[in-house]
Structure 1
């Protein structure tokens, strides 16, 4: 059995060689473009990349995605079966099948067993390697994709997002294309990197991407307070629902803010990630400045000690969704243009509990982790209460994303909840939302 840190698996050698001598950092020179076009015509060159466009002469394909709780969800077929729902996650080095039942359904053959170490504070998790899985999306095909198949669905992404989730697509997909994401219209474009031309215009901010250990990093100024500005190296992480995460153990100058909230920040492969929520004054992305960012500060023993590349934290999609973005691994750059979501404030939930979606259609909602002293606690709500009505509207009407927006809406809002207790009795709670951080 092998042991390795998640998700830091080695990238395949051909792409590393391509990045070294074929693709210029930034924009390709005209001569290099000619070389790339010539190489792309050679038999087998395209097969060096895991994914290709389905049409041999195609240069790009556009499709839609589902947007749930700041996460990108796409429909894929595996070995001709499906469709299955997968997250697109730049923070994952090797793609994952998180639903262990898919192994039998797809007749997968496992080549090696691993123990996977990831974020969280529990023991390492077992996973099995399988390869030569055929992955198809509209206009995109990967003929021989490797996956790790988890032995347990410990992430329970389906319950967190409120729709069935079967796995995660990571580095192999992003290194194969220039990927453009429009969060407002929930559309995505996969473009052939050889023929791709970056958009011009003053509104587009261009940031260099540094690829290390199959992940992409940006280094950008972060104003931790009015008097302290530091350049932080941050993972570009489309699979993180938060805005910003800062690992204080990565630099002695990174201190917890005076105003902070102790909480569970999420769940990783090895259990819950604990830490603090606070705010930083600002973060600069090219010409764009985002202020008063809600920021996670995970405990060191949950995250920082299990990293393979020195870094200071990550940027998640709660921040990135405020831009139309072009994620360009082949040319080592990230392009950003503000969209209609840019002015939205960064808010934490104002009720003081988490909600888990359950049931065959993920429309039963169970309250989890009621925070002491929170509006939910003061209203008498308990863990394991099932939400039946919100403001006299049946809870089954809402998706989990819609429900989350209600609980994040604005300070002072009155919410009337009807819940069913574990014993079956109904309880009515009048809750006033409160900005806690």
Structure 2
């Protein structure tokens, strides 16, 4: 089982009139399977834009495709730049400048659109590669969901598109069928949270682009406040800057026939979510750490969502017990490391740097500092891990000893601490 730490939420607004676009087209009744990568609970999908193979996040929380991190690809993409616009999203920063481009060719497996509108952002705040460990060039959502039934098989990591008229859900005793509601092209569902002795109905955005479990917007009048211990933490990057808030647990979260006990929850700071709170009846989001526990059929045309348990369903809800957040930051030159022995040859390997450090966490108390580069974890060179594999170790059992070797401005430092759960688990 794996647990992740990157939280990505992007919401789009643009001033002025947006013209209707041509639809995505599927010539057959349904598409073949399109494999994806599941990284930090988010879906990384292959998408061709104007004939160039790119990697996109599949995000139900975004209306129009956003393209970024294309500095070396822009000439190949041959996008038609038109007018400048401003985008707004989560975070406390200002609007982000973007370019609107029309007439682009998008292809996802056998689904394609020859007249797709997109937005190009050059601001490096949308470079997710350091936190995910793989190149990400864009985000796509509503436009590929609106005309199809989209099967998302988290268990086997593929999606498939169906024409609505040819889709008929199969009978299933262990499945749930839920109603979808829409606001500004974003899907919402109804659930229930148990906080203390209260059972509170909630309306939540379905956010496949977020890797947390639940976000709840604090509201004293509804009882949506932490009733268990919490710690303040970095929650993720939004389009308009970083998002911080409180991490805690709730007694239970119920979605249709399914109930998750002692689930993770985050309460983002009000200043970071002022834009999204304009939808007055929204109470938060349900994201990848819960969604991935199901295989889904997402039916926008009929406003339905079908859920079936998969192999992730019973994963426990844990937090990072070290307090360290890493990102890929450049490369290290490795001299002849083969199985821990010195050999011949040189190799460039990713360098993993500490970029966030939770206050009073085991790592901070041991002396770890932001900017430290991790050279080894429990006597194994960091060059032998992916970013996700190292992060997974920080979600280990309560009391597990962690031994790190760090590079701090050229000085080699050894650290040791034990993972500690903030909650009774």
Quickly name the TM-score band, shorter chain normalised. 0.7 to 0.9
How do 1:18-33 residues align onto structure 2 when only pairs under 5 Å count?
none
CA distance in 2: counterparts of 1:11 and 1:288, whole angstroms: 41
CA distance in 2: counterparts of 1:249 and 1:8, whole angstroms: 25
Shift of 1:104: 3.9
Is the counterpart of residue 7 in structure 1 residue 5 in structure 2? no
CA distance in 1: counterparts of 2:414 and 2:92, whole angstroms: 36
Shift of 1:75: 1.3
Greater share of strand: 2
* SS class of match (2:389): helix
Q: Which runs of 5+ in 1 are unaligned?
A: 15-47
Shift of 1:397: 1.9
Shift of 1:6: 3.6
Aligned to 1:62: 33
1:73-125 deviation digits (Å, cap 9, x = unpaired): 011221112x2111000011111002252444422222221122211111211
CA distance in 1: counterparts of 2:289 and 2:240, whole angstroms: 23
Taking a change above 3 Å as real, the CA distance of residues 113 and 250 of structure 1, as seen in their structure-2 partners, is: farther
CA distance in 2: counterparts of 1:251 and 1:398, whole angstroms: 47
Aligned to 1:435: 421
Does the Cα contact within 8 Å between 1:249 and 1:300 map onto a contact in 2?
A: no
CA distance in 1: counterparts of 2:22 and 2:406, whole angstroms: 51
Does the Cα contact within 8 Å between 1:324 and 1:337 map onto a contact in 2?
A: yes
How do 1:157-306 residues align onto structure 2 when only pairs under 5 Å count?
157-225=128-196, 227-249=197-219, 252-306=222-276
1:417-437 deviation digits (Å, cap 9, x = unpaired): 11111x211111112111124
Does the Cα contact within 8 Å between 1:117 and 1:125 map onto a contact in 2?
A: yes
1:371-400 deviation digits (Å, cap 9, x = unpaired): 222111122111111111111222122222
Shift of 1:238: 0.2
* SS class of match (1:289): strand
Aligned to 1:30: none
Aligned to 1:368: 355
Aligned to 2:88: 117
CA distance in 1: counterparts of 2:31 and 2:47, whole angstroms: 18
Aligned to 2:61: 91
How do 1:396-411 residues align onto structure 2 when only pairs under 5 Å count?
396-411=383-398
Shift of 1:250: 8.8
CA distance in 1: counterparts of 2:233 and 2:300, whole angstroms: 34
Residue among 355, 362, 380 paired with 1:393: 380
Does the Cα contact within 8 Å between 1:250 and 1:304 map onto a contact in 2?
A: no
Is the counterpart of residue 381 in structure 1 residue 368 in structure 2? yes
Does the Cα contact within 8 Å between 1:131 and 1:146 map onto a contact in 2?
A: yes
- Bigger shift: 175-184 or 277-286? 175-184
Does the Cα contact within 8 Å between 2:243 and 2:269 map onto a contact in 1?
A: yes
* SS class of match (1:318): helix
Residue among 303, 307, 310 paired with 1:332: 303
* SS class of match (1:194): helix
State the TM-score, normalized to the length of structure 2: 0.88
Is the counterpart of residue 51 in structure 1 residue 24 in structure 2? yes
CA distance in 1: counterparts of 2:231 and 2:98, whole angstroms: 34
CA distance in 1: counterparts of 2:221 and 2:12, whole angstroms: 22
After TM superposition, the runs of 4+ consecutive aligned structure 1 residues lying more than 4 A away are 8-14, 249-252
1:288-344 deviation digits (Å, cap 9, x = unpaired): 111111111001111044444221000000111111111111111111111111111
Taking a change above 3 Å as real, the CA distance of residues 402 and 76 of structure 1, as seen in their structure-2 partners, is: same
Q: Which runs of 5+ in 2 are unaligned?
A: 1-9, 332-347
1:223-253 deviation digits (Å, cap 9, x = unpaired): 122x111110100000001000001149553
Taking a change above 3 Å as real, the CA distance of residues 323 and 11 of structure 1, as seen in their structure-2 partners, is: farther
CA distance in 2: counterparts of 1:108 and 1:414, whole angstroms: 51
CA distance in 2: counterparts of 1:88 and 1:57, whole angstroms: 22
CA distance in 2: counterparts of 1:244 and 1:335, whole angstroms: 19
